[in-house]
Structure 1
Amino acid sequence: MRTKDESKEILIRDKAIEMIVNEGFDGLSMHKLAKAANISAATIYIYYKNREDLLNKLFAHATDTFMAATLQDFIPETDFESGLWKQWNNRLQHIIDFPLLYKFLEQFKSSPLIKKQPSLQEDIFRAAMKRFVEHAVEKKQIIELPLEVFWALAYGSFYTLVKFHLENATMSGRPFEFNQHLLKLTFQQTLKALVIQ
């Protein structure tokens, strides 16, 4: 049995994500992936059982990586404004550093091809986010809202800016130049919708 080489696994993963983002699931075959990675198709099967296994492991990797980055130096019991600002910056930095990974997640998080697997990282992430909101409500820093409404207000405008940034265009097609001033301005308006005055 051939041994696994971490650098080859990373190469396969990165090439697969690139191909999927650019061509969709239909554009990915093991043969095309092997050719793009300059390896034999047999090498891919050392790391992945089949195409479905590859897709699910790619999704798990992208999700876990994003959640781990989001929690970097984040303390759920911090005050709400500082904690949310940290969340925005952590998420933004990860998206800027790994735009293909983020596009992959956005493109395929609702796909029927993805069979979500239980993840320790997801459990940690959900617990931290839940504690962050509960703490802010307990301390009367924010109003209590249904989860979906809270998420829409706390992150909806952030992800709209991210979309403009990644597409380098607004909804009207004008060029979009992302900067910290716009991020801070949007953040301040978001706080007004959530924070108890």
Structure 2
Amino acid sequence: MRLRDETKERTIREKAIEMIVREGFDGLSMQKLAKAAGVSPATIYIYFQDREDLIRQIYFEESTRMSDITLNGFDPDMPFEEGLRVQWKNRITYCLQHPMRMHFMEQMRHSPFHEKFIRDANNPFIAAMGTFVKNAIRRNELVKLPVEVYWSIAFAPLYQLLKFHMSSQGMPETTHFVLDEALIDQTLELVLKALKP
């Protein structure tokens, strides 16, 4: 039996994330991954049962990482405005520190794997956000909305601004775009105005 090598395992995971982001899930084969990671295909099977197990393990690990960062300093009992500010700050931190992982998680959300894996992820983030929203509605700090509408208003503007920032380009007529504190505050104020009763 061969011993696990944490460095090799980490390299395999990182290269898999890169391949999925660049080529999609269909572009991830164990042969190509082994070549990119500088290992033999047999080495991958020391750490992962198969391709789906590899994707599942990466997803669980990244869900935990993202949850830890986005819940840092956040309390579901916070007033809505304060809690949303903490969420924006934490999500900006996660996206800017881990752009490749952010793209991986975005691709996961729109893949058949998401529904398959999310029930087993046991992520505290979903429960915390659910409690946060319920508390805000109960305290009359937030209008009652379907969760999809709430999410679209609360976070989609932030993620779009982050995409502009990370590409350094805004709309076609804008030559350069930088997301700064003033723009974050201005956008968040508009979001809060839209969500408050």
TM-score, L = length of structure 2: 0.90
- The amino acid across from 1:186 in the alignment is T
Report 1:37-186 matches (<5 A): 37-113=37-113, 115-117=116-118, 118-121=120-123, 124-172=124-172, 174=174, 175-186=176-187
Counterpart CA distance in 2 for 1:49 and 1:11 is: 17
- The amino acid across from 2:93 in the alignment is Q
- The amino acid across from 1:148 in the alignment is E
Counterpart CA distance in 2 for 1:137 and 1:63 is: 27
* CA deviations over 1:138-166 (Å, ceiling 9, x no partner): 22222222222211111121111122123
Percent of aligned pairs with the same residue?
44
Give the C-alpha shift of residue 109 in structure 1.
Answer: 2.0
Is the CA contact (8 Å cut-off) linking 1:62 and 1:102 kept in structure 2? no
Is the CA contact (8 Å cut-off) linking 1:78 and 1:132 kept in structure 2? yes
- The amino acid across from 1:23 in the alignment is E
- The amino acid across from 2:148 in the alignment is E
* CA deviations over 1:102-127 (Å, ceiling 9, x no partner): 11111232223553151222xx2111
Counterpart CA distance in 1 for 2:4 and 2:37 is: 16
Give the C-alpha shift of residue 101 in structure 1.
Answer: 0.5
Secondary structure of the corresponding residue to residue 155 of structure 2: helix
- The amino acid across from 2:48 in the alignment is Y
Counterpart CA distance in 2 for 1:128 and 1:55 is: 25
Is the CA contact (8 Å cut-off) linking 2:63 and 2:121 kept in structure 1? no
Determine whether 1:17 maps to 2:26.
no
- The amino acid across from 2:180 in the alignment is N
Counterpart CA distance in 2 for 1:108 and 1:87 is: 21
* 47-56 vs 75-84, greater mean Cα deviation: 47-56
TM-score, L = length of structure 1: 0.90
- The amino acid across from 1:120 in the alignment is N
Give the C-alpha shift of residue 173 in structure 1.
Answer: 6.2
Counterpart CA distance in 2 for 1:113 and 1:20 is: 13
Q: Residue 196 of structure 2 corresponds to which residue in structure 1?
A: 195
Query: Structure 2 stretches of 5 or more lacking a match?
Result: none
Give the C-alpha shift of residue 130 in structure 1.
Answer: 1.1
Counterpart CA distance in 1 for 2:145 and 2:27 is: 42
Counterpart CA distance in 2 for 1:165 and 1:108 is: 22
